[in-house]
């Protein structure tokens, strides 16, 4: 683990040299490759050094975050072209990656909390530093305070556990069992806000709308998954309380998923629509985790990985349109099939992955989540049907509104898709649909 940390730390000087934008990306690719070759045992923590290590759960999420960071660099080439503080941007991304890496790999619950919060700072810098509109300050505040507000109880909860047990190693948490309601709420609310659960999701659409493409990608790709990761780690402490109280969160998130997918139809902003759709998917993930059965855990893990790749790709597509038309409005982004026919294919592929069409990871994840939720209570079938139906509805709505028909006549200058962009989209889509061949890595991890 230390070698990867060192590698990232020594990449920092590289960021401040001129014209090292692609070099940093190449180095990250290299690191990705090293990391992929890491020996991973299925059941246990391995590669322990100091207090960092990883098991399958963190392994997949670290891979996801490295991958998303690489693709973020690739998608924000315009920063580099326009010389819009690319050095500091790269530095920011590397720091963010370090924080995410440490969050996922650390074994101590308090250290987890520390890195969990510090990744917030760099995302905040990304949003208010490279965003488009003045409203980004407000969005940044929303983002910061929503997540911070609920995470202070988490800190107290961690201290409480430490006081009681004198031990806050994540691996040993499976031997504890707390039957305390207050502790339960204080430990999971931070993650639920981060996920985000319905009712506390307001920061997400705002942050997405104001963030630059890289900010949206990391938000949808990894930041939401931090919450899921935390829940998967922490819920093991609360098996007894969970049996009594998890029903609240399942109901909120299933109903919320349905409402959110209806809200998607009312959006006119592409990014906001994608943000709402990702909240809807995340609500299914919350439901799956909260059932606390095997199918739910693996389903949430698979859907987190799949959704991370898929929604990040969709934000890239939204940005590709934005760079050409300088608008995210659905009224202006129309009829792109006549202008960019090849990009239409990528819209369709990512859109279909978003609506859980085979053979994407999203489908496998949704199947597992549906299995877990229906076996938890068969009445949840109806809400799941509605969520699944409407997820197809808004995905198709998004796709066909943007691609089909006449285009906006106010366009006077345009350019075709660049090969960088096609590569970017392919790198999103390919792991999403190839990994289903090796689905056992996602299904047997604890």
Partner 1 sequence: MANVPFLGLKTHSQKVCSLFKRTLRNLEAFYDRRNVYRYQAVLMRERFDKNAQVKDMRVATQLLKQGEEELFLQQHSIPRKFPLSPGGVAYERVVQSPDWVLDYWHPLEKAQYPEYFKRREERKKEFIAMWEKEYGKEEKKDQHH
Partner 2 sequence: MQKFSICFISFFVLFSFSMINIFFFSYFVMNNLVYILEWELISFSSMSIVMSILLDWMSLLFMMFVSLISSVVIFYSKSYMSSELNLNRFIILVLLFVFSMILLIISPNIISILLGWDGLGLVSYCLVIYYQNIKSYNAGMLTALSNRVGDVFILMVISWMMNYGSWNYFFYLDFMVNDYMMMMISVMIIMAAMTKSAQIPFSSWLPAAMAAPTPVSALVHSSTLVTAGVYLLIRFNSLLIDMFFFKVLLLLSGLTMFMAGISANYEFDLKKIIALSTLSQLGLMMSILSMGFPDLAFFHLLTHAMFKALLFMCAGVIIHMMNDIQDIRFMGGISNFIPLTCLCLNVSNMALCGIPFLAGFYSKDLILEMVSMSNLNFFIFLLYYVSTGLTMFYSFRLTMYLMINDFNLLSVYNLYDEDYVMLKSMFTLMMMSVLSGSMLMWSIFSYPYMIYLPLNIKLMVIYVSILGAFLGYLMSNMNIYSMNKYLKSYNLSSFLCLMWFMPNLSTYGLNFYFLNYGQLMLKNIDMGWSEFYSGQGLVLILKNYTVFYSFFQMNNNFKIYLFSFVLWVCFLMMFMMIYLNSL
104 in contact with partner 1 (CB under 8 A) = no
From the CB of 337, what's the least distance to partner 1, in Å? 8
Tokens (6 digits) for 189: 């609310």
The residue among 345, 365, 348, 347 whose CA lies nearest residue 356 is 365
Site string for partner 1, 398-427 (x = CB under 8 A): -------xxx-x--xxxxx-----------
> Which of these segments, 8-16, 75-83, 128-136, 372-380, binds partner 2 (CB under 8 A)?
372-380
Chain positions 376 to 435 lying near partner 2, rule: CB under 8 A, are 381, 384-385, 388-390, 392-393, 396-397, 400, 404-406
Q: How far apart are CA 139 and CA 135, in angstroms?
A: 6
The residue among 283, 289, 303 whose CA lies nearest residue 439 is 303
Nearer residue to partner 2 within complex by CB, 153 or 359: 359
375 in contact with partner 2 (CB under 8 A) = yes
Assess contact for 225 and 231: CB atoms under 8 A.
Answer: no
Assess contact for 171 and 108: CB atoms under 8 A.
Answer: no
From the CB of 419, what's the least distance to partner 1, in Å? 11
DSSP codes joined into one string, 383-395: HHHHHHHHHHHHH
> Which of these segments, 3-11, 243-251, 408-416, 436-444, binds partner 2 (CB under 8 A)?
436-444
What, of partner 2, partner 1, none, does residue 162 touch, CB below 5 to 8 Å by kind? none
Nearer residue to partner 2 within complex by CB, 23 or 386: 386
What, of partner 1, partner 2, none, does residue 294 touch, CB below 5 to 8 Å by kind? partner 2
Tokens (6 digits) for 348: 């369709």
Q: Which CA distances in Å does 192 have to 44, 285, 414?
A: 26, 11, 42
Q: How far apart are CA 277 and CA 268, in angstroms?
A: 13
State the CB neighbour count (10 A cutoff) for residue 93: 25
What, of partner 1, partner 2, none, does residue 367 touch, CB below 5 to 8 Å by kind? partner 2
331 in contact with partner 1 (CB under 8 A) = no
Count of positions on this chain that bind partner 1 (CB under 8 A): 16
From the CB of 413, what's the least distance to partner 1, in Å? 7
Chain positions 251 to 280 lying near partner 2, rule: CB under 8 A, are 259, 262-266
> Which of these segments, 85-93, 134-142, 289-297, 332-340, binds partner 1 (CB under 8 A)?
332-340
Nearer residue to partner 2 within complex by CB, 97 or 128: 128
Assess contact for 43 and 446: CB atoms under 8 A.
Answer: yes
Which residues lie below 8 Å from residue 145, measured CB to CB, with a gap of 6+?
Answer: none
The residue among 201, 363, 371 whose CA lies nearest residue 277 is 201
Peptide bond before residue 196 is cis, with ω within 30 degrees of 0: yes
Nearer residue to partner 2 within complex by CB, 237 or 364: 364
146 in contact with partner 2 (CB under 8 A) = yes
**Cross-strand pairs, 49:** 52
Q: How far apart are CA 328 and CA 339, in angstroms?
A: 17
Assess contact for 278 and 398: CB atoms under 8 A.
Answer: no
> Which of these segments, 111-119, 121-129, 416-424, 438-446, binds partner 2 (CB under 8 A)?
438-446
Q: Longest C-alpha distance within the chain, in Å?
A: 67
Q: How far apart are CA 324 and CA 319, in angstroms?
A: 9
> Which of these segments, 41-49, 106-114, 368-376, 421-429, binds partner 2 (CB under 8 A)?
368-376
Nearer residue to partner 1 within complex by CB, 331 or 412: 412
Site string for partner 2, 155-194 (x = CB under 8 A): ----------------------------------------
Q: Give Cα 232 distance to the centre of its chain.
A: 15
For residue 201, which phi and psi values (nearest 5 degrees)?
Answer: -95, 0
Assess contact for 126 and 218: CB atoms under 8 A.
Answer: yes
Note the residue count of the chain: 446
Site string for partner 2, 70-89 (x = CB under 8 A): --------------------
Q: Give Cα 272 distance to the centre of its chain.
A: 15
Q: Which residues bind partner 2 (CB under 8 A)?
A: 142, 146, 199-200, 202-203, 259, 262-266, 294-295, 335, 337-338, 341, 348, 352, 357-359, 363, 366-367, 370-371, 373-375, 381, 384-385, 388-390, 392-393, 396-397, 400, 404-406, 436-437, 439-440, 443-444
Q: Which residues bind partner 1 (CB under 8 A)?
A: 81-82, 323-324, 335, 338-339, 405-407, 409, 412-416
């Amino acid at each position: 683990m230390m070698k990867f940390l060192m590698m990232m730390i020594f990449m920092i000087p590289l960021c401040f040299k001129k014209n090292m934008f692609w070099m940093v990306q190449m180095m990250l690719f290299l690191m990705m490759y090293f990391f992929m070759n890491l020996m991973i045992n299925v059941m246990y923590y391995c590669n322990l050094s100091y207090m960092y290590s990883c098991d399958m759960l963190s392994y997949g999420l670290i891979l996801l975050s490295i991958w998303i960071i690489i693709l973020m660099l690739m998608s924000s080439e315009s920063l580099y072209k326009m010389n819009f503080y690319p050095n500091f941007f790269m530095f920011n991304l590397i720091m963010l990656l370090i924080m995410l890496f440490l969050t996922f790999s650390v074994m101590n619950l308090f250290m987890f909390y520390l890195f969990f919060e510090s990744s917030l700072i760099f995302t905040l810098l990304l949003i208010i530093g490279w965003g488009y509109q003045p409203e980004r300050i407000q969005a940044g505040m929303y983002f910061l305070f929503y997540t911070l507000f609920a995470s202070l109880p988490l800190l107290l909860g961690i201290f409480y556990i430490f006081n009681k047990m004198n031990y806050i190693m994540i691996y040993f948490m499976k031997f504890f069992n707390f039957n305390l309601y207050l502790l339960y709420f204080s430990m999971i609310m931070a993650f639920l806000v981060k996920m985000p659960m319905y009712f506390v999701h307001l920061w997400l659409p705002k942050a997405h709308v104001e963030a630059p493409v890289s900010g949206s990608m990391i938000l949808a790709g990894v930041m939401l998954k931090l919450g899921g990761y935390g829940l998967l780690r922490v819920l093991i402490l609360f098996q007894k309380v969970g049996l009594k109280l998890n029903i609240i969160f399942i109901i909120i998130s299933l109903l919320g998923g349905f409402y959110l997918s209806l809200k998607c139809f009312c959006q006119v902003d592409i990014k906001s629509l994608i943000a709402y759709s990702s909240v809807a998917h995340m609500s299914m993930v919350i439901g799956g985790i909260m059932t606390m059965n095997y199918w739910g855990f693996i389903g949430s893990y698979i859907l987190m990985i799949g959704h991370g790749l898929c929604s990040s790709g969709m934000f890239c597509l939204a940005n590709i349109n934005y760079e050409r038309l300088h608008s995210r409005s659905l009224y202006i982004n129309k009829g792109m099939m006549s202008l960019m026919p090849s990009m239409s294919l990528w819209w369709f592929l990512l859109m279909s992955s978003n609506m859980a069409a085979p053979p994407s990871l999203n489908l496998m994840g949704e199947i597992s989540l549906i299995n877990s939720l229906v076996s938890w209570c068969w009445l949840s079938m109806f809400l799941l049907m509605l969520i699944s139906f409407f997820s197809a509805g808004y995905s198709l709505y998004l796709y066909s509104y943007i691609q089909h028909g006449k285009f906006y006549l106010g366009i006077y200058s345009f350019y075709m898709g660049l090969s960088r962009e096609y590569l970017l989209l392919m790198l999103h889509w390919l792991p999403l649909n190839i990994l289903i061949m090796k689905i056992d890595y996602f299904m047997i991890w604890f």
